[in-house]
Amino acid sequence: MHTPHVRSSRRTLLALIGASLVAGPAVAAAGPANAAATGLDDPAKKEIAMKLVSSAENSSLDWKAQYGYIEDIRDGRGYTAGIIGFCSGTGDMLDLVELYTRRRPGNALAGYLPALRRVDGTDSHEGLDPGYPDAWRRAARDNAFEQAQNDERDRVYFDPAVRRGKADGLGTLGQFAYYDAVVMHGDGGDRTSFGSIRGLALDRARPPAQGGDEVTYLHAFLDARVWAMKQEAAHEDTTRVDTAQRVFLRNRNLNLDPPLDWQVYGDSYHIG
């Protein structure tokens, strides 16, 4: 079962809503920042990232089995589908289908483009039901659609998160923390977007690029992430942070080196 998540629209809102973070437990002073030997864009690390996200989004480490996934999880974003949870209401699903259609004209989803443009920004299924889910699953049998999903995931979510993490001087774990936050919250202008979460963290700690300690900064970022998740009912369970990312951080595994053991929503996972 796909775990509910809500992602903010990628279209920037006109105003940023002010927010303040309720301070959590004091973070013990950590040692010098440990620069990662590789970044999250290293192929082996990227594979780990995909599995970590899939454990939270799909309750499975088999992220490649999710290309054909589609359902409305009743989060106000319309249909959620594919390997990263593209949404009919947030624009990224429309961008994906447009890319796929440029590469494969006449595909099973091409006829739904007018409807996708109409429902963008809403939770409506108008013009999509009843055939759209079956068309999505048919398209998912096409290697060109799988590649389009991979490319849009990287363009919109993975690559920007990794670039921002590297610019902040973060290692592989920190880059993953950024990526997972962008996947769930988007990078729009609202108070629970990635940019706002990062801003709250910067109010409390400096990242390594600014001379700060990496562990201390990442604790502040995860504190801000938990705060943002709790602003929406669909995110009240914060185990993808508490019993996953925070576990790696407490173990000072800043490179995300296997073996990795974590839990999400009570389920246990292992990467050897």
Beta bridge partners of 95: none
- State which H helix or E strand residue 54 sits in: helix 43-57
Which listed residue (42, 47, 75, 203) is catalytic? 75
In the block, tokens 């106000």 appear at: 76
Q: Name every residue whose Cβ is closer than 8 Å to that of residue 129 and which is 6 or more positions away in sequence.
A: none
| Residue pair 33/169 in contact by the 8 Å Cβ criterion | yes
The residue whose two tokens read 């082996």 is 44
CA–CA distance, 132 with 75 (Å, rounded to integer): 18
d(CA 158, CA 180): 9
Q: Would you call 214 a catalytic residue per the annotation?
A: no
CA distance 154 to 148: 10
Active-site annotation holder among 41, 42, 47, 57: 57
Q: How far apart are CA 270 and CA 272, in angstroms?
A: 6
Q: Is 236 a catalytic residue?
A: no
| Torsion sign across C-alpha atoms 194, 195, 199, 205 | positive
Active site residues: 57, 75
